[in-house]
Amino acid sequence: MDKYDIFLNDLNKHLDLDLHGYKRPQMERRINSLMRTLQIDTYDSFIKKMREEQLIFNRFLDHLTINVSEFFRNQSQWDILKEKILPVLFLNNKNIKIWSAGCSTGEEPYTLAMILEQYYSGNYSILATDFDIRVLNKGIEGIYSPKDISGIPEEYLKKYTLNQNGSFRVIDNIKRAITFKKHNLLKDSFDTNFDLILCRNVVIYFTEETKNQLYRKFFNSLRTKGVLFTGSTEQIIQAREIGFNSMAIFFYQKP
């Protein structure tokens, strides 16, 4: 076991952060880059610093660039969801259960809730999860800067946010549909009977083995006819082997 592997074990043991399933080259590069910036020479010293100083640990999480999110990211995919996927889901079930896995600061579940509220008012519930409590708190708060909300179409912005001194707060009617919860995709158990699971721009950080395990767990968490919605660089190569049928690019249905 080399020094990097020992560092990952210590990170998991002392800071409850498991990076074993993440691609080593890019993680190691980012970690070492931050250590140089902070002028920390050894992994042991870095663990000690992060345990003693929350700000250093927060900076470490931010440096990994895991927490990147946007409203209506890849707009054309949201259009497919709205026009092709959701009508099928509501044919099968009048009240759909949704999971936004790796929701970061909440832009994804709020985007989904705005679309659902516009076309399927009240007939849905959304579980939004992430392993980082800081980003979950921002999602729970539901307040975003003008830069944050730049991707929201004007009709949605006017209808589902309130301008408060230059910041934009998601209205309570949207917030009520979403439950934010801490959850680690690589360690915690998964709930079941979801009609729709969104896991977008998350698995790009994972090893191929971890991705495959995760997709199988998502498959098991979906009810029959449920759909997994992945990110724009995350086509599932083994989709048929897992059991999925492709409904559209980046949309996989459990038959």
Q: How confident is the model at residue 132 (pLDDT cuts 50, 70, 90)?
A: confident
Q: How far apart are CA 85 and CA 196, in angstroms?
A: 9
How far is the CA of 130 from the CAs of 91, 135, 140, 167, 185, in angstroms?
30, 8, 12, 24, 8
Cα angle: 79, vertex 84, 88; to 5 degrees: 140
Q: How confident is the model at residue 66 (pLDDT cuts 50, 70, 90)?
A: low
HSE-up (13 A, CA, CB side) for residue 239: 20
Q: How far apart are CA 201 and CA 223, in angstroms?
A: 23
Among 67-71, 123-127, 204-208, 245-249, the range scoring the smallest mean pLDDT is: 67-71
Annotated domain spans of the chain: 3-63, 75-253
Tens of pLDDT along 200-233?
Answer: 988 877 888 889 999 999 999 999 999 999 987 7
Q: How confident is the model at residue 145 (pLDDT cuts 50, 70, 90)?
A: very high
User: pLDDT > 70: what percent of the chain?
Assistant: 98
Among 45-54, 64-73, 76-85, 133-142, the range scoring the smallest mean pLDDT is: 64-73
Q: Looking at the predicted structure, is the pLDDT value of residue 193 above 90?
A: yes
pLDDT of residue 69: 79
Amino acid at 125: S
- Homologous superfamily in CATH for domain 75-253: Vaccinia Virus protein VP39 (3.40.50.150)
How far is the CA of 77 from the CAs of 118, 125, 143, 222, in angstroms?
17, 21, 25, 20
Higher pLDDT, 60 or 254: 254
Q: Looking at the predicted structure, is the pLDDT value of residue 94 above 90?
A: no
Q: Looking at the predicted structure, is the pLDDT value of residue 242 above 90?
A: yes
Rounded (to 5) percent helix, strand, coil in the chain: 50, 20, 30
Tens of pLDDT along 27-43?
Answer: 888 899 899 999 999 99
Q: How far apart are CA 127 and CA 143, in angstroms?
A: 19
Average pLDDT for the chain: 91
Q: Looking at the predicted structure, is the pLDDT value of residue 59 above 90?
A: no
Mean pLDDT score, 175-196: 94
User: pLDDT > 90: what percent of the chain?
Assistant: 65
The pTM assigned to this predicted structure is 0.84
Q: How confident is the model at residue 134 (pLDDT cuts 50, 70, 90)?
A: confident
Mean pLDDT score, 170-188: 93
